[in-house]
Amino acid sequence: MAANKPGDISDSTFLTVAEVAAMMRVSKMTVYRLVHSGELPAVRVGRSFRVREEDANDYLKNSFYNAG
């Protein structure tokens, strides 16, 4: 059996759509739209989605813009 490498997917923390929505302070529907459009990577588990915490944080970091 292979040893886990650093950065392996098994080291990831997965969040539910509700947890991502709470973290971003948006509705669950907004998160579903981001997932379905491909802007926010997600894994489908049965009928629900899971988003890596790292991907949610990266999305937020890359969404900042300067106003004015």
pLDDT digit string, tens, across residues 14-61? 999 999 999 999 999 999 999 999 999 999 999 999 999 999 999 999
Coil/strand/helix, residue 2: coil
Residue type, 52: R
The CA–CA distances, whole Å, from 61 to 3, 39, 58 equal 31, 13, 5
Strand 48-52 versus strand 14-16 pairing type = antiparallel
Question: Domain 13-62 is of which CATH architecture?
Answer: Orthogonal Bundle (1.10)
Hey, where are the domains in the chain? Answer: 13-62
At 53, list the tokens.
């915490």
Coil/strand/helix, residue 65: coil
For 31-41, the pLDDT digits (tens) are 999 999 999 99
d(CA 50, CA 44): 6
